[in-house]
């Protein structure tokens, strides 16, 4: 025979309605042990009672977490939105685990193990980007990916930086970055590659010299300027030129 309960369903309903945790429910029902929590939860589920408002020692509710996750892009942002720190690994993992138990979609958030820098701590990175930068390849890849085309990067050195799908099949793309010319304020771009030449005079680059691209090596040049503008220029437009200036003539190839 099952032990007789000291509380009624009505008492449980009222305790859950006015309580904020299972411990509070136990106190309202006159229970002094935490071992009965599982039985209380089971009976609440049988009665279809809603206890998602329980926070225990938390100052945020499950609905608060749902809203924070939906409007954030990182776990740190979500934690801040509910007034909690995700600075430690355990804190971030605990927040993620709670979201998983609730069935919240967190696929858009950055890994929960992201660590928030201490306020006021200087990061070991320059806040000023280098002119021209070295992020041209990732910028170009994202441009194609954002438009639904699959991008591949060669594992071995080649005369092109990436291969991308297109509406006309696969295309080979060479990425170039550039900064303004001091004399004109326009952007100058070198369209050359390094080639080994045993006859070249040895210098800082060894027996290498710069040479223009030949037909068939690349299909497009993707150019990223230090000002953030981008150009996608077909090889046939520039031919075997070793450099160009991005003037009005190339305006038709500007992309956003």
How confident is the model over 4-56, as pLDDT tens digits?
678 888 998 998 888 877 788 888 888 876 567 778 888 888 888 877 667 66
Within 8 A by CB and 6+ apart from 198, the residues are 207
In the predicted model, what is the mean pLDDT of residues 65-82? Answer: 79
Domains of the chain: 9-47 (no CATH), 58-117 (no CATH), 136-255 (3.40.1350.10)
Per-residue model confidence (pLDDT) at position 149:
93
- pLDDT above 70 covers what percent of the chain? 76
Per-residue model confidence (pLDDT) at position 89:
46
How confident is the model over 150-187, as pLDDT tens digits?
999 998 888 999 999 999 999 999 999 887 776 777 88
Residue 73: pLDDT over 80: no
Residue 92: pLDDT over 70: no
Query: Tokens 């776990």 appear where?
Result: 75
Give 178-182 contacts, CB < 8 A, sequence gap 24+: 178/132, 178/223, 178/224, 178/225, 178/226, 178/246, 179/131, 179/132, 179/225, 179/226, 180/225, 180/226, 180/227, 181/245
Please tell me the distance from the alpha carbon of residue 214 to that of residue 217, in angstroms, as a whole number: 6
Cβ 173 vs Cβ 151: under 8 Å:
no
In the predicted model, what is the mean pLDDT of residues 205-216? Answer: 82
Query: Tokens 């170009």 appear where?
Result: 140
* Selection from 197, 177, 179, 191 nearest residue 244 by Cα: 191
Please tell me the distance from the alpha carbon of residue 6 to that of residue 28, in angstroms, as a whole number: 12
Higher pLDDT, 112 or 45: 45
- pLDDT above 90 covers what percent of the chain? 26
Higher pLDDT, 72 or 87: 72
Structure tokens at 129: 């980007």
62-71, 97-106, 118-127, 205-214, range with the lowest pLDDT: 118-127
Residue 204: pLDDT over 80: no
Mean pLDDT of the chain: 79
Per-residue model confidence (pLDDT) at position 205:
54
Within 8 A by CB and 6+ apart from 190, the residues are 176, 178, 210, 242, 243
17-26, 116-125, 219-228, range with the lowest pLDDT: 116-125
Per-residue model confidence (pLDDT) at position 49:
81
Higher pLDDT, 135 or 230: 230
Per-residue model confidence (pLDDT) at position 160:
93
Higher pLDDT, 92 or 66: 66
Residue 90: pLDDT over 50: no
- Outline where 118-181 has alpha helix (H): 136-145
33-37, 62-66, 223-227, range with the lowest pLDDT: 33-37
Residue 114: pLDDT over 50: no
């Amino acid at each position: 025979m099952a032990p007789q309960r000291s509380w009624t369903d009505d008492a449980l309903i009222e305790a859950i309605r006015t309580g904020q945790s299972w411990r509070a429910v136990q106190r309202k029902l006159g229970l002094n042990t935490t071992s009965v929590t599982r039985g209380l939860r089971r009976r609440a589920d049988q009665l279809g009672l809603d206890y998602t408002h329980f926070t225990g020692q938390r100052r945020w509710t499950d609905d608060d977490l749902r809203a924070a996750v939906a409007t954030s892009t990182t776990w740190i942002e979500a934690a801040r939105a509910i007034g909690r720190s995700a600075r430690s690994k355990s804190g971030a993992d605990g927040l993620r685990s709670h979201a998983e138990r609730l069935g919240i979609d967190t696929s858009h958030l950055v890994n929960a193990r992201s660590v928030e820098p201490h306020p006021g701590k200087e990061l070991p990175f320059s806040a000023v980007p280098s002119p021209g930068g070295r992020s041209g390849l990732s910028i170009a890849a994202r441009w194609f990916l954002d438009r639904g085309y699959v991008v591949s990067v060669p594992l071995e050195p080649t005369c092109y930086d990436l291969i991308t799908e297109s509406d006309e099949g696969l295309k080979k793309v060479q990425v170039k970055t550039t900064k303004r010319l001091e004399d004109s304020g326009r952007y100058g771009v070198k369209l050359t590659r390094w080639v080994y030449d045993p006859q070249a005079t040895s210098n800082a680059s060894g027996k290498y010299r710069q040479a223009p691209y030949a037909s068939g090596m690349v299909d497009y040049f993707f150019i990223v300027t230090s000002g953030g503008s981008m150009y996608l220029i077909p090889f046939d437009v520039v031919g075997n030129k070793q450099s160009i200036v991005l003037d009005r003539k190339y305006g038709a190839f500007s992309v956003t």
